[in-house]
Structure 1
Amino acid sequence: MSYPQVHIAKSIHRGWGEGNLTRAQVGCLLVSLLLAMGCDTGPPEYPVSGVVEYNGVAVPTGWVLFKSADHGQTSAAIDPEGHYETLLPAGKYMIGVSAPRKSSAVGMDTFEEGPLPPHVPIRFSLPDKTGIVLTVEQKEANPFDIEIKERQR
């Protein structure tokens, strides 16, 4: 009585021929094994969303930057109403906001009509310097509005 493991070993030993495993079959087998062993989905992620305001006015373009000692750095786009949303693993994050007035980047239009939107000074784009901290909890919603206020000069 022969076992499948022995048959595979004999097939490989005898070479590539009729009645043996083909190179494609062995390749598929190896790839399947590697994929099964190397699948890592990472930690679970939880929704985070809110509105970004600068001196009481919604910021209509830019990015919210999230920096974590455990999970690295990522960002979420700010939509024209000042809203952002993303998924993050649970943990503590330092927050920055990058919101230029004008940009040639894709999806970032130059504002030609009406008053200019609020411009968030570049110093607020450094997550570890703003003092804004978010703790993402293991729950279905993590609302977090970002309100940046400065004295008017």
Structure 2
Amino acid sequence: MGSMAEEWETDYEEVRLFFKEVLEAERIDLSSMNTFTFKDKEGKFGLKGVTYKINILTAHGKVYLIELKSFANADDVDWFFFKTSVIAKALGFSEPIRMFMAVTATDEALERAKEYGIKMLAADVIEKPKPRRSGGRKLQS
């Protein structure tokens, strides 16, 4: 257990430094970030009754819509794009900067983010697991 804890501390510190360096290069200070929650009761902007939650930051005259996750796959990126579209419409943001930060992301998530024009930051990128083949055996009951 001790070596696992030491490894996690090292990994955590590397991840923290990675995000710190990237954010400083972008001149973004996350300490002024706020969480915004919006429930679209009537479905005026998105899906009826769905609650949307996002981190919002304004800096340098720009609005950033930010997602922070430990792990991200392509479905997470799709949902992020959808919910930021709903929130941008609801709040009247014409061109928000979408930023998705993940400790680990699949290569497919990065590709999807690129397609949507999302700034995706990941400390570690893994290949999307390939689906397993069953081998043709039938289960007997």
TM-score class normalised by the smaller sequence: under 0.3
The structure with the largest helix share of the pair is: 2
Q: TM-score, normalised by structure 1?
A: 0.20
Which entry has the higher C-alpha Rg, 1 or 2? 1
- Normalized against structure 2, the TM-score is what? 0.21
Higher relative contact order, chain-length normalized (CA < 8 Å, sep 6+):
1
